Structure formats: C-alpha cells, structure tokens
Structure 1
Amino acid sequence: MPKSYESWESYFYPETYDPDTRQGTLRNLFGERDRELLKQFEKVETASRLYELESNQVAIERTFDSAHLRALHSYIFQHVYEWAGQYRTVGIAKGYSSFADVTMIDRYLNDAHDLVERTEWNTLDKTGFSAQIATVYALLNQAHPFREGNGRAGKAFLHHVAQLSNYTLRFDQITPRQWNQASALSGPDLGSYEVVPDSLIPVFEQISTPKATVRPPLPGIGEVPQIKKLDHPTRHAAPQPRQSRGRSHGYGRGM
C-alpha cells in the first residue's frame, strides 16, 4: 500500500481526528475531509459496484476463502480507499462487540471456507440453509477483516454462497437495525472462540427466497453486460462508474 497503516490514528486525516472520541474522517481516494460527505460519496460509489456484482457483470473466482472475500472488498471499495482488499492492522469494536484480533482473522475465515466447502448447499431445505449460512456469516462478521466495509463485502460473499443453493437472499426484507442487532449477538461469549449464530438464523429464514420465485436483475434496455475478470484481490482494471438499474437485493451501507 502507498501509505503504511500501523495505528488506529493512521487511518484518519490528522486534522479531522478527535482523540477523545477516537474518530475522524478516514483517508480516502476522493480526498474528502468531511465525514458526512464521504459517507455519501462512498454510498453512491459502492452501490454501483455492488449492482455490478449482483447482476453478474464481474467474474470473481468463487473460492470462498480469504482471497475471495478480499477480491470482493477490493472491487467494491476500489475507488474509495487505497487499502481496499487489505486486512486491517488494528483492533476494532462496535458497541459492546469486539471483533477478532488481527492474528485471528485468517482462522475465522478458514473456518468459514471449510463450512462452505463441506456443505451440500443444493440439498438443503430453507431451515437447513438458514442455519448453515447464518454460521458462515457469523464467522465472517467475527473476523471483520477490513477497517471499513465488512458488511457490504460479507453480503456479496453470501450472495455467492447462496448461488450454490436453491435460495437467494433478499436483504431488503429486513431493516438495518434488525441485521445489525442479530449480527452483534452472533459473536463469541466472553473468553470463547466459537461464534453463536442463533440470532441470525431467523433473519436468514426471513430473507431466503426460493430461486424459482425470484426474478433476476436485468441490464438496462439495449445494454449487454460486460464480464470483468478479477482473479486477484489487489490487481485489476478499474471499471468506469455506471448508473445502477433494476431492483436491488438490499446491499446497503452499514449493513
């Protein structure tokens, strides 16, 4: 990476950092110092990238491992942060939830990969599918490998997992609050390693829809989707932003 991110403060523009709250504006490729404006720019930019992923305009190797997740994050945030696709170098917490130490990120992602690989997704009914994919996401969420954008990258990863099954995921069927609360409760108990996905299972039961009843997103009239090959989390050709069209499956900031 062009800049070294070795401390919590190093991720922020120094002039925006408040040592009391330990917050500020993240360094970004827009050069934007206003935190709220950055959120708006980020939301618009990542929505375009997520739509391209959802409508299968981007070919990312489906290995369901850390490289797969990093490639997704790199694609989604390529025009926002220079560290897109790179693991965070600092500890991170949200509310009362503390995520994996940086030394434990790969262990959680390896467990998620192993679970995806050993599950016969196309044989599962809705109950079984919801239980398995809830566990996959609980592991991804606890890993929380990136400084920002874990939810969006995680959802894109789940979308790929769901394509192995008879179901699709409709994140627009729940509120951000429902999703965030269930995610927060899925972390390990104090002093434990094991995730507790119970709170996520009813959420996935709510948003899982049989594929036969879901109409896939379509490109705009006269537009032929161009497949972009991406086989490395940090090396790819940057696409030109495009206007999002069609129905979204609920990928959104903060979820």
Structure 2
Amino acid sequence: MTDRFTNPETGVFYNRLGLTDAEELDRETKRLSLRRLAELAAGRGPQGDSFDAARLRATHQYLFQDTFEWAGQTRREGAFQGVKAADLPGMERPMHFAPFERIDERLNALGEQLKQENNLKGLTTPAAFAERAAYYFDHYNHVHAFREGNGRTLQAAFSELAQQGGYRVDFSREHEQLNPARDQGIVSLHGAPHREKDLQALRDLFARNTTPLPGPEAEAARHPSQARALADGPLPAVRQIEQLRELVAATPAVQQLVAGVDYRRNQRADALLSQVLDIDRNPQTGVPQHGTELRQLLQEAAQDKRFQDPQSQREATRFGAALAVLQPPEPMKALGTSPALPATGPSTAGTAAFVQAAKRLAEGLEEQGYPGPADSLSRAAKAVEKSAYLGGANLQAVGEALTRAEKIPALADDAAALRGAGRSLQQAQRSMAPPTPGRENDGLER
C-alpha cells in the first residue's frame, strides 16, 4: 500500500539520497539518524522544556533531515492512517494509532499534562520515574505521529525528559525489547481497569535502564519539592484520549463476536470498526451518530447463544463499558431493517485466486516456523472461500500474515501474490456496495 510519503513507482519512501532500494535506505537512515541522535544527546538541536507537537516535529526533522524529504511532517500531512500488526508472539490483534486528524491536538494535550507534572521532576527513585515515564511513553507512542521514525524520535524526547528529571535512560541496552513492550500498551489486552498490566513490560524496561545522574543539578531535579502530582488524575483532554483508546482497543474482540461466516455478519463487523474509528476521529459527532446502533449490535452479540462463554462475555462487557463512558445508555430502540445486500458476491474467480494464494502463503509460513500466523491465515482463507468476502477479523489475519511473510525473502513472491489477490477481491467488493466514509486508507498496509 502506497501513500503520500512513498514513491508509488519504487514502493520506497521519498528520500534525499536518491535511493530506490528499501533495505539500503533503511541502513542509511539508521546510520545518519543515530549520528543526529548523538548530537541531540550532546545538547545540539531542539531543546527546551516543552514536549508538544512543535517539539516532536522539530526533533523528527533534526533526526531525519539527511534522509527524508518529509522530515518533520506528521501523518496528518500525508492523511495517512493505516493499520499495523503487533510485534508480539502469537498476537493476532491489530494496532490502531491515533487518528491522523488529531495528532497535533493529542500531542499538545500530552505536553500540557506533562508540564503540569513539572516534566516528571521530583521523582526520587528510578522506579518512580519509570512508572510515569512509561505512562507517557505509551501515550506518545499511541499517537505515532510520524510515518517512519517514531521510535528514535521518542527515544530522543524521553532521553531529554529523563535528563531534566535528574536521570539517564539507556534505550540501547535492551533495544530489541522496546517494540514488544510498547506494542503491549497499544493492544491493551487487559483494558482500563487493569491498565498497569498492559504497561508492565514497558515500565519494567524503563526501570531496568534508568539510573540517577550525578551532580548537584541532577540531585536538585530529583528533590521531592519539585514533584507536581496530578491531584485530580489526567487532565480532561487526556482523560478523553484514554477513554477513546479503550473503546478502540476493545473493538477487535467484539468484531470477532459479530463476524460470522455469512456475508452480512462480516459486513457488520467491518461497519463496527468503521463506526468506532469515526468516534475516535470526532467523538462529539461520532458518539451521537453511532452510539445507539453500536449498543444494539453489542446486545445482539452478548445474547447470542454462541457467545455465552466467560471470555466472550468479558469482551462484550468491556466494549459496553467503554462506550458507556463516552455516552450514557439510552432506551433501546427497535432494530431497523438491515441494509440491502448485493444480489451476488464478488466473482468466483477472484475468490478462488485469493484462497489459492492464501493457502500457498500459509504453507510457506508453516515451513518457515510461523505456525500462529499460518493457522490464522488458513482459517481466514476458509471463511473467505465460503463467504466470498474479505473483511473484519479475516482481513486482520491476512494483514498480520503479510507483515510476517514480507520480512522473509523466500516468501516474497507468495506474499506479493496474496496482496494482489486481496486487493482485487476488495475492489470487487467495493464495486458492489457504497464505500464507508473515512476508510480510504484502511486495507492491506505495507
């Protein structure tokens, strides 16, 4: 999938080096940005006590000025949303980052709350600093402001934040553990009531790699007189961000509850995600517009005799609670007539081509030692073969399988074949039903 940051002819990010090979560009980007990262650590480049949108943009621009033509631009400039698979063993849930329309707004809200906490000064132990640093790192990572380079941008920002608080954070010691730890926070399996579990890995990572800086200035920064705790919890703007994150994180499991093997239920699962993401983009209009329908759909799923097991009921309850926080329940209205369905599904040939490509890639993943994604892809292929529809949980399984496969040279051709077959099948589906607003960048992301 291409976007405004990517050259459609090469599939490689637009860059100042004239490179057309993705691996070569990645190597050069790492080399040049690590040099700039060292310069930031030495006090060059953007400095200051503000960690808002302007600061993050300036940091990204400094780090990637040698490589990307679009250094300093956020996903908003490219109207890029996309979906990414979690970097977690056996994990089959997608990661949805902040709506690109809200990136600056959310970065500014986080920066303001961080300022209210005096940029985490006055925390007397590495563990105390790690707890609050992990909380903010997770939030900034969820915003995921940039098309590429989010990790290094946040490392630079949080190294500076730690220094201002009298600490040093060494991200290089356990660098390979950072992505899985931060992905756990995004996926949020445990949910709002047990948020500390979702942040445990990130918090532990910070704690193990945070050390007090020497000297009187650092000691003064750590002195408890500098502490400014949030007496009433998160500021209203950040509290709403957390509520919206909980709703989005609870959605994939509910999608699986409502997505059956028949065409109509898969459509409803896709519509559920679209409505939730619409709420995430604009809760003021999205909640009144979609809230009642979402509660009706949730009630159907919760009452379905197939979903009476404790796990399904917990997932339904979690989604309902997240929705209720944003909009108190209203009296249930009678269910309306379901939207008319197309008389026929996508072409038999298109479905068969997709199924064949999916089965071939599943076999390859199995041979390469990835049984989890292979099994998920096989089940998705069977569902698509029966329903002639690619969407919902099945689309997520395909995207996650492609993410794994495209990193394995031996599977490159099979992955390309599946991606092409999936796009063709989705195009056939779109031609038979009106598009859902706001979904132009959803699909098989590269």
Do the structures match in fold with TM over 0.5?
yes
| Match status 1:187 vs 2:198 | no
1:108: Cα distance to partner? Answer: 3.0
* 1:151-170 equivalence runs, <5 A: 151-170=151-170
Aligned equivalent of 2:3: 9
Q: How many residues are matched?
A: 198
RMSD over aligned CA atoms reads 2.3
Aligned equivalent of 2:82: 92
**8 A contact 1:167–1:211 mirrored in 2:** yes
Provide the C-alpha distance between the structure 1 equivalents of 2:174 and 2:96, rounded to a whole number of angstroms: 24
Segments of structure 2 that go 5 or more residues without pairing to the other structure are 86-93, 216-446
1:204: Cα distance to partner? Answer: 0.5
| Match status 1:80 vs 2:67 | yes
Q: Tell me: CA distance 1:59–1:102, structure 2 relative to 1, closer, same or farther (3 Å).
A: closer
Q: Give the structure-1-normalised TM-score.
A: 0.71
* 1:202-221 equivalence runs, <5 A: 202-212=204-214
1:189: Cα distance to partner? Answer: 4.3
**8 A contact 1:168–1:209 mirrored in 2:** yes
Q: Tell me: CA distance 1:138–1:153, structure 2 relative to 1, closer, same or farther (3 Å).
A: same
Please list the CA deviations of residues 158-210 of structure 1 after superposition, one character each: whole Å capped at 9, or x if unmatched.
0111122121101122132x1100110112648x8998533311110011011
Provide the C-alpha distance between the structure 1 equivalents of 2:166 and 2:4, rounded to a whole number of angstroms: 44
1:93: Cα distance to partner? Answer: 2.9
Q: Tell me: CA distance 1:115–1:197, structure 2 relative to 1, closer, same or farther (3 Å).
A: farther
Structure scoring higher RCO (CA < 8 A, sep ≥ 6) equals 1
For 1:97, give the aligned amino acid.
M
For 1:73, give the aligned amino acid.
H
1:59: Cα distance to partner? Answer: 4.6
1:8: Cα distance to partner? Answer: 4.0
Provide the C-alpha distance between the structure 2 equivalents of 1:148 and 1:57, rounded to a whole number of angstroms: 22
Provide the C-alpha distance between the structure 2 equivalents of 1:49 and 1:84, rounded to a whole number of angstroms: 13
1:113: Cα distance to partner? Answer: 0.8
Q: Tell me: CA distance 1:197–1:106, structure 2 relative to 1, closer, same or farther (3 Å).
A: farther
For 1:13, give the aligned amino acid.
N
Q: Tell me: CA distance 1:129–1:86, structure 2 relative to 1, closer, same or farther (3 Å).
A: same
Segments of structure 1 that go 5 or more residues without pairing to the other structure are 1-6, 17-23, 214-255
Aligned equivalent of 2:133: 133
SS of the residue 2:168 aligns to:
strand
Aligned residues with identical type, % of pairs: 31
Q: Give the structure-2-normalised TM-score.
A: 0.42
**8 A contact 1:106–1:143 mirrored in 2:** no
Please list the CA deviations of residues 35-65 of structure 1 after superposition, one character each: whole Å capped at 9, or x if unmatched.
1110111111111111110111335343211
Q: Tell me: CA distance 1:138–1:126, structure 2 relative to 1, closer, same or farther (3 Å).
A: same
Structure having the higher Rg:
2
Provide the C-alpha distance between the structure 2 equivalents of 1:60 and 1:175, rounded to a whole number of angstroms: 24
**8 A contact 2:45–2:59 mirrored in 1:** no
Runs of 4+ with deviation above 4 angstroms: 192-196
Provide the C-alpha distance between the structure 1 equivalents of 2:48 and 2:214, rounded to a whole number of angstroms: 25
